[in-house]
Amino acid sequence: MIKNFFDSLNVSYKEDISLKNYNTYRVNTICKFLVFPKTIEELKLVLDYLRENNIKYYILGNGSNVILSMDYYDGVMIKLDNFNSVIYKDNLVTAGAGYSLIKLSLDTIEKGFSGMEFSAGIPGAVGASVAMNAGAYNSDISEILKEVTVLTPDNEVKIMKNSELEYAYRSSFLKRNKKYIVLDATFELQKGNSEEMKELVEERKQKRIASQPLDMPNAGSVFRNPEGGYAGALIEEANLKGYNINGAEVSTKHANFIVNKNGATGKDIISLIEKIQKEIKEKYNIELKLEQIIVR
Ligand SMILES: Cc1cc2nc3c(=O)[nH]c(=O)nc-3n(C[C@H](O)[C@H](O)[C@H](O)COP(=O)(O)OP(=O)(O)OC[C@H]3O[C@@H](n4cnc5c(N)ncnc54)[C@H](O)[C@@H]3O)c2cc1C
Query: Over pLDDT 70: what percentage of the chain?
Result: 100
Atom of ligand 1 nearest to the CA of 126: 25
Q: How far is the CA of 127 from the centre of ligand 1 (A)?
A: 9
Domain 213-295 has CATH 3.40.50.620: no
Distance of CA 105 from the midpoint of ligand 1 (Å):
15
Q: What is the 3-state secondary structure (H, E, C) of the chain?
A: CHHHHHHHHCCEEEEEEECHHHCCCCCCCEEEEEEECCCHHHHHHHHHHHHHCCCCEEEECCCCCEEECCCEEEEEEEECCCCCCEEEECCEEEEECCCEHHHHHHHHHHCCEECCHHHHHCCCEHHHHHHHCCEECCEEHHHCEEEEEEECCCCCEEEEEHHHCCCECCECHHHHCCCCEEEEEEEECEECCHHHHHHHHHHHHHHHHHHCCCCCCCCCCCECCCCCCCHHHHHHHCCCCCCEECCEEECCCCCCCEEECCCCCHHHHHHHHHHHHHHHHHHHCCCCCECCEEEC
Ligand 1 site, residue 97, Cβ cutoff 6 A: yes
Q: How confident is the model at residue 58 (pLDDT cuts 50, 70, 90)?
A: very high
pLDDT recorded at residue 148? 98
- Please answer whether residues 87 and 93 qualify as being in contact, where contact means their C-beta atoms are separated by less than 8 angstroms: yes
User: What's phi and psi for 95, nearest 5 deg?
Assistant: -125, 145
Cα separation, 292 vs 290, whole angstroms? 6
Please tell me the CATH code under which domain 2-79 is placed.
3.30.43.10
CA distance 22 to 183: 19
Domain boundaries, the chain: 2-79, 86-197, 213-295
66 CB under 6 A from ligand 1? yes
Distance CA(214)–CA(208), nearest Å, equals 8
Ligand 1: does its nearest atom lie under 6 Å from the Cβ of 149? Answer: no
User: How does pLDDT run across 33-54, given as a tens digit for each residue?
Assistant: 999 999 999 999 999 999 999 9
Q: What is the pLDDT of residue 133?
A: 98
CB of 37 sitting under 6 A from ligand 1: no
What is the distance in A from the centroid of ligand 1 to the CA of 71? 21
pLDDT in tens, 101-122: 999 999 999 999 999 999 999 9
Task: Report pLDDT digits (tens) over 187-214.
Answer: 999 999 999 999 999 999 999 999 999 9
Q: What is the CATH number of domain 86-197?
A: 3.30.465.10
The pTM is what? 0.98
The best mutation among 132, 204, 209, 251 to test binding of ligand 1, ranked by most ligand atoms within 8 Å of the C-beta, falls on 132
Whether 117 contacts 197, CB under 8 Å: yes
Judge if the beta carbon of residue 80 lies within 6 A of ligand 1: yes
Kindly indicate the confidence band of residue 164, based on its pLDDT and cuts at 50, 70 and 90. Answer: very high
Q: Are 70 and 296 in contact (CB under 8 A)?
A: yes
**Cβ-Cβ contacts under 8 Å for 39 (sequence gap 6 or more):** 82
How high is the mean pLDDT of the chain? 98
Pocket test for ligand 1, best of 35, 36, 56, 64 (most atoms within 8 A of CB): 64
Q: How many residues does the chain have?
A: 296
Report the residue among 34, 43, 56, 65 best suited for mutation to probe ligand 1: largest number of ligand atoms under 8 A from its CB.
65
170 within 8 A of 222, measured Cβ to Cβ: no
